[in-house]
Structure 1
Amino acid sequence: MKQIGDLDVFPLCLGGNVFGWTAGKERSFEILDAYAAAGGNFVDTADSYMASAPGNRGGESETIIGEWTETRGNRDDVVIATKVGRHPERRGLAPANIRAAADDSLRRLRTDRIDLYYTHYDDPSVPIEDIMTTLHELVTAGKVRQIGVSNIEPDRLQKSLEFAEREGTTPYTAIQPHYNLVSRDTYEGPRRDLAERYGLAAVPYYGLASGFLTGKYRPGANVDSVRSERAAAHLETERGRRVLAALDLVAEEQGTAVATVALAWLAARPTVAAPIASARTLDQLPPLIEVARTTLTEDQLRRLTEASE
């Protein structure tokens, strides 16, 4: 297990962005059951998932996760992370909106507390002190255990961390950045420096670069995925082809899947507690789970790192 504040989490966080979208309720339950059976306990969602899907309003993923924990009776065994700020009816980080959105999420999740509550996107129109104070109120009220931050500029992140330290409010314990083998500067640099300085645990999203780092995108391949255009674009870059070649070699050496190696590299990076990856079918799950049992050699890590530069 890895540590985020006082939360013990499995080293692979299961992404809930597909629940209520490309995975319906029954399929989502199957995936969650299989993840839990393999020892997984860390599930990521957001109040806005999946508002963009036809017929959805937002919150469908939270609702599915809440129904699953209720029917399985395993709420105390699962660390649930969700986010605030992007639901169509609860946009932004104004204090009243954060409070209302948290209550909405608690109802959908059928629980009395959110284990890890992220600000999904920063809202520069709201002063840092208002955001941090409101999140602190949720923690002291017992509605939230730990707080985290996702998409935010380094200067606003630093001011938030300094405010919590100076005023004694609840500090961020986690950061959720866009980070993977073909997107490193989205985290490495000022954001990671701040995470190291303040002890934030990183829980990267797009850990598999929309599926590109699974290895299924090859020249001439036709992949059935709503993300195929974004993922396949990496094949057009020298960096993408170089990374894929290095992943193939390391996967062969390890006797494991390309996706497992890509996530294992990410899991070994400084500050990373657990990369996020999602599965819309049961057969996509085992290579993700395997990262918990995979340790790359120093030479393998070096080759992957060099290929991704």
Structure 2
Amino acid sequence: MEKRTIKNTDLQIAPINFGGNVFGWTLDEKQSFDILDKFTGEGFNFIDTADTYSWWVNGKGGQSEEIIGKWMKSRGKRNDLVIATKVGSETKEHGFDISKKHILKSVDESLQRLQTDHIDLYYTHFDDKITPVEETLQAYDEIIKAGKVRYIAASNISPERLRASFEASKKNNLPKYVALQPHYNLMEREGFEKNYAPLAEEFGLSVFPYWSLASGFLTGKYRSEDDLSKSQRGEGARKYLNNKGMEVLKALDEISAKHNTKPATVALSWLLAQPLITAPIVSATSESQLETLFAAPKLQLENDDLELLNKASQ
């Protein structure tokens, strides 16, 4: 499989980033191991998690990292993988926190759970909007120099604070973010395209969008309110049950029929066709769902397919 390089790094990744929020939530340990075996068995190597996944189960999180750590240790695959995790998210125990003290404590806890000596890509998960950006970057500088983290990235940070971070990096010779994880998909375009795409271009960021399938809506399984009860995550798709949502599903149905594939595959392929997108983040809880992910990098959408999707999703 053709690998892509995360910009300004030596990290080579397959073009789908597996979202580990399902580990310890909708998948137990054995099921998680099975999914990870199948995912990596197809040549994919990029796994995304966070120190707080799945805090909504036990109030503190850590289950996802623990499962990935056990799996990596049992399979001996650490050197074949690119592992991303995050710091700064809110739990019942603490609020958003990207202070130096919290980062230095959290990185050691993540390393312990992941049973590894380094994290390839370490994200500022959420911005506490209080900590000076220089302090956060100084913490990252310390853990990069200690060999605990290779590169840093940003997720839920305002465009203003993101720019300020780059200015502080340049001024103080501190590490720079190499990647951005925004909310972006066919149903959620404006926020990224208007506010973050120019920054991604200016600062040479690789982009890994989360909720790539709009909480499962772009799979086509939620077409009415009655469908929302089909899964634990169904309620997240409610807001897309509108005229725009139906137009996007209609376009996905038409294109997936034309290419003999699934709507989810088409939706991911649309993301991969966007010039700034390096690898969409997406989860799967079954072998059939994995197959739709595996098919996305192989699907070459034609110009009229892209035009139809762009028109429906504007």
TM over 0.5: yes
User: Aligned ranges for residues 277-296 of structure 1 at < 5 Å?
Assistant: 277-296=282-301
Equivalent residue in structure 2 for 1:59, among 59, 62, 80: 62
User: How do residues 11-30 of structure 1 correspond to structure 2 at under 5 angstroms?
Assistant: 11-30=15-34
TM-score under structure 2 normalisation?
0.95
Shift of 1:28: 0.3
Q: 1:148 matched to which residue of 2?
A: 153
- Give the conservation status (yes or no) of the 8 Å contact 2:228–2:235: no
1:103 and 1:87 map into 2 onto residues whose CA distance is 18
Provide the C-alpha distance between the structure 1 equivalents of 2:170 and 2:275, rounded to a whole number of angstroms: 23
> What residue in structure 2 maps to residue 181 of structure 1?
186
Residue number in structure 2 paired with 1:112? 117
Greater shift after overlay, 212-221 or 168-177? 212-221
Looking at structure 2, the residues matched to 52 and 304 of structure 1 have their Cα atoms a distance apart, in angstroms, of 34
2:203 aligned residue? 198
Corresponding position of 2:4: 2
| 1:2–1:284 CA distance, 2 compared to 1 (3 A) | same
Query: Which blocks of at least 5 consecutive residues in structure 2 are unaligned?
Result: none
Q: Distance in 2 between matches of 1:267 and 1:122?
A: 27
Count of residues in Structure 1 that have an aligned counterpart in Structure 2: 307
Distance, in Å, in 1 between the alignment partners of 2:284 and 2:31 is 10
Whether 1:77 aligns to 2:58 is: no
Q: Which amino acid aligns with 2:234?
A: S
Contact 2:121 2:153 (C-alpha < 8 Å) held by counterparts: yes
For residues 226 and 61 of structure 1, what CA distance do their matches in structure 2 show? 18
Quote how far apart the aligned CAs of 1:269 are: 1.2
Runs of 4+ in 1 over 4 A off after TM superposition: none
CA contact (8 A) 1:179 1:204 kept: yes
Residue type matched to 1:302 in 2? E
Q: Which moved more, 1:273-282 or 1:25-34?
A: 273-282
In structure 2, how many angstroms separate the alpha carbons of the residues matched to 1:203 and 1:20? 22
Point out the more displaced range, 248-257 or 171-180. Answer: 248-257
Gaps of 5+ in 1: none
Per-residue deviation, 1:87:
5.7
2:175 is paired with a residue whose SS is coil
- Is 1:307 aligned to residue 312 of structure 2? yes
Give the percent of matched residue pairs that are identical in Structure 1 and Structure 2. 46
The Cα of 1:56 is off from its aligned counterpart by 5.7
Please state how far the C-alpha of 1:306 moved relative to its aligned partner. Answer: 1.2
Asked if the contact 2:124–2:154 (Cα under 8 Å) also holds between the matched residues in 1, the reply is yes
CA contact (8 A) 2:182 2:192 kept: yes
Query: How big is the shift at 1:218?
Result: 2.0
Q: 2:54 aligns with which of 43, 50, 56?
A: 50
- For residue 239 of structure 1, what is the aligned residue in structure 2? 244
For the residues of structure 2 that align with 1:63 and 1:308, how far apart are their CA atoms? 38
Matched, 1:254 2:256: no
SS state at 2:193 partner: coil
Match of 1:129 among 129, 134, 142: 134
Q: Spell out, residue by residue over 1:119-175, the C-alpha distance to the aligned partner (whole angstroms, 9 max, x if none).
A: 100121100110111112211111111100000110100110121123222110000
Q: Partners in 1 of 2:152 and 2:68 — Cα distance?
A: 19
Cα distance in structure 1, aligned partners of 2:28 and 2:102: 29
Of 145-154 and 289-298, the range deviating more from structure 2: 289-298
- The aligned amino acid for 1:27 is Q
8 Å contact 1:50–1:59 — kept in the other structure?
yes
Q: Secondary structure at the match of 2:232?
A: coil
Q: Is the 8 A contact 1:47 1:87 kept in 2?
A: no
Structure 2 CA distance for aligned equivalents of residues 38 and 21 of structure 1: 24
User: Does residue 139 in structure 1 map to residue 141 in structure 2?
Assistant: no
CA distance in 1, matches of 2:288, 2:150: 33
What is the Cα deviation at residue 25 of structure 1?
0.2
In structure 2, what is the Cα distance between the partners aligned to 1:153 and 1:289? 32
> TM-score, normalising length from structure 1?
0.96
Q: Distance in 1 between matches of 2:231 and 2:171?
A: 47
Task: State the match for 2:173 in structure 1.
Answer: 168
- SS of the residue corresponding to residue 86 of structure 1 reads coil
- 3-state DSSP of counterpart to 2:101: helix
Which fold has the larger relative contact order, with Cα–Cα distance below 8 Å and residues 6 or more apart in sequence?
A: 1
Aligned AA (1:247): L
The answer as to whether partners of 2:5 and 2:13 remain within 8 angstroms in 1 is yes
2:191 maps to a residue whose letter is T
Stretch of structure 1 that moved more, 165-174 or 118-127: 165-174
1:45, 1:295 → 2: CA distance?
29
CA-based RMSD: 1.3
Rounded to whole Å, the distance in 1 between the matches of 2:49 and 2:148 is 17
